[in-house]
Amino acid sequence: MSDPVAQLLPVAAVFLLAGLVKGVIGLGLPTVAMGLLGLLMKPAEAAALLILPSLATNLWQLFQGPRFGELLRRLRGMMAAIFIGTVAASGIVAGGDSALIRAGLGAALIVYALFGITKVSLQVPQASERWAGPVVGATTGLMTGATGVFVIPAVPYLAGLGLQRDVLVQALGLSFTVSTVALGLGLGWNGALPASAMGASLGAIAPALLGMAAGAWLRHRVSPAAFRRWFFIGLGVLGGEILWRAVSNGGLL
């Protein structure tokens, strides 16, 4: 990482904001952090910074839910595919063409924002879960390894399982935790997880948790639906900015 000290304040601000979003709507920390950090540094550096605060907040979310064992049994095929796909594809974000990775990151944010804004909902028949879960998991893993974004298509798929809200939040925590661990292992395997990055990632845990606490407080004082709508609009704008920069400055035109 070029100058961790100079990046300390903007990185802390990014994780404070990302934690706040997660505290209000229950997701979004890795997505917001990866998107904003993608404006400040290379995708591999942003992904390395993401590891520890994402792991801490998602473990918190995972073990607050009521049905960990049941979810793990139900989603084990999907989780295994996420893990394998992420580790296998992690060399892309670790050492691939930076402009192409940024373009992929921007496109992933735009797609996710469109899902959120349009409120497209999937209906996943229970009989289809045995094959659909691993397919969605592998696709999510490839997206995670290529861009550092964990959400497509895992989030729409999990939302389509008809889970109760608390169980859905826990399922998202499980998916994001597996993605984070796999991404960390993949980055380390590809030599993209230096000690300096892990130190900065450790330092990002505190602002992320502080942001989550602030978001939990704010959740009872704002309309979550309105906040969620503006979050997805902002995410789409951010994705468009990242995509435009990658295409225009990266020689992809």
- How far is CA 113 from its chain centroid? 13
**Cα end-to-end distance, the chain, whole Å:** 28
Across 61-89, average pLDDT: 92
Asked if pLDDT for residue 113 goes beyond 80, the answer is yes
Buried b (16+ CB within 10 A) or exposed e, 9-44: eebbebbbbbbbbbbbbbbbbbbbbbbbbbeebbbb
Asked if pLDDT for residue 5 goes beyond 80, the answer is no
* pLDDT for res 43: 87
Tell me the pLDDT band of 226, cut-offs 50, 70 and 90. confident
Q: For the residues of 121-147, what is the DSSP string, one character each?
A: -----GGGHHHHHHHHHHHHHHHHHHH
pTM above 0.95, yes or no: no
Asked if pLDDT for residue 1 goes beyond 50, the answer is no
